[in-house]
Structure 1
Amino acid sequence: MDITKEKKPKVFAVSGIKNSGKTTLVEKLVTRLTALGYKVGVIKHDGHEFVADHEGTDSYRHKAAGAKSVIVYSNSKMMLIKDYEKPDILDMLQYQQDMDIVIVEGMKYSSLPKIEIIRSAVSKTSVCDPSTLMAIVTDVPLKEANIPVIGLNDIDSVLKIILNK
């Protein structure tokens, strides 16, 4: 197999502060991109610890017994629960290599290319490094140097930026 011809997915983040609408934007992008025929993966960054499983399930019991990694699978899906000392986005991307596009939700301080969402209800300023921004999606009148500023409902313009980068 010629690894130089291996396809790598386009990877970018949808970032912003808490409650800015990241999940809603990601949902809209996934819907539109899959309708266009793209295989889309999502990696969700959670700044807080979360419980990926619940008490009483076999996988929960395996983790409680000390397993560092548990995979639960069926005929149509798989879930990986794995302990990391210091997770890296590259570790997560290895599970998305068969995708055309991978959207990382969160990671506002990462070096990933990103679309930042700014909502007037929660903030009126950017929190991301401008050098990482592909665009800002907002309901606030902004003028950012060299960064496209797109209205909240203009998904077509967001898609153009994603597909052309």
Structure 2
Amino acid sequence: MQKVLGIAGWSGSGKTTLIEALLPRLAARGLRVSVIKHSHHDIEPDVPGKDTWRHRQAGAAEVMLLSPHRVAVFAELAEALTLEQQLARLQPVDLVLLEGQKWEPVSKLEVHRPQLGKPLLCADDSRVLAVASDAVLDIALPQLALNDYDAIADFIVRWQEEGK
């Protein structure tokens, strides 16, 4: 299994913004990184009426849309993919960031904003390595300033290198 780090937190905590800021910093540090983004809602990434959508509607199990620069696969699922199945669909990289799926048994960086009024995930999840927050917290884990993207990227690189 590829090296996976969960970016975990409640909705509205800033997970997507953090990942967006981390990706170029991790690339600059020499890491190839992929992201798996989980949604609790049904998604329709295709455009109704387009060829790929029409093929899916006609019964294709998977439709691949390919250009010289990128590929997309639209697949109909009978059931949710396990993390192992999700990872198997990705090309090998140095690190996969998992946004959402906070229940998965992987190492995590928690993103926490006290103003949301939600509990810390690290209180019940021993896989949380550190917490990135916009406040000083009374916890034993390492704390990172949520807007200090370079320090968070450094923390992730150190963690990633420890596992090699």
Q: Given the two structures, how large is their TM-score scaled by the length of structure 1?
A: 0.86
Whole-Å separation in 1 of the counterparts to 2:73 and 2:129:
31
- Which amino acid counterpart does residue 65 of structure 2 have in structure 1? V
Which consecutive residues of structure 1, in runs of 5 or more, have no partner in the other structure?
1-7
Q: How many residues align?
A: 157
The equivalent residue for 2:88 is 94
Deviant stretches of 4+, over 3 Å: none
The answer to whether structure 1 residue 161 and structure 2 residue 155 are counterparts is yes
* Secondary structure, counterpart of 2:20 in structure 1: helix
**Unaligned residue ranges in structure 2 (runs of 5+):** 160-164
Q: Verify: 1:136 aligned to 2:131, yes or no.
A: yes
Q: How far did residue 124 of structure 1 move?
A: 4.9
Partner of 1:10: 3
Aligned partner (choices 25, 29, 33) of residue 36 of structure 1 = 29
User: What's the counterpart of residue 72 of structure 2?
Assistant: 79
User: Which position in structure 2 is the counterpart of 1:5?
Assistant: none
Hey, what's the Cα distance between the residues in 1 that align with 2:2 and 2:20?
18
Q: How far apart, CA to CA, are the structure 2 residues paired with 1:74 and 1:58? A: 14
Identity %: 36
Match of 1:58 in 2: 51
Relative to the length of structure 2, the TM-score reads 0.87
Cα pair 1:41 1:101 within 8 Å, conserved: yes
Cα distance in 2, alignment partners of residues 106 and 69 from structure 1: 24
- Residue number in structure 1 paired with 2:115: 121
* Aligned-partner SS, 2:80: coil
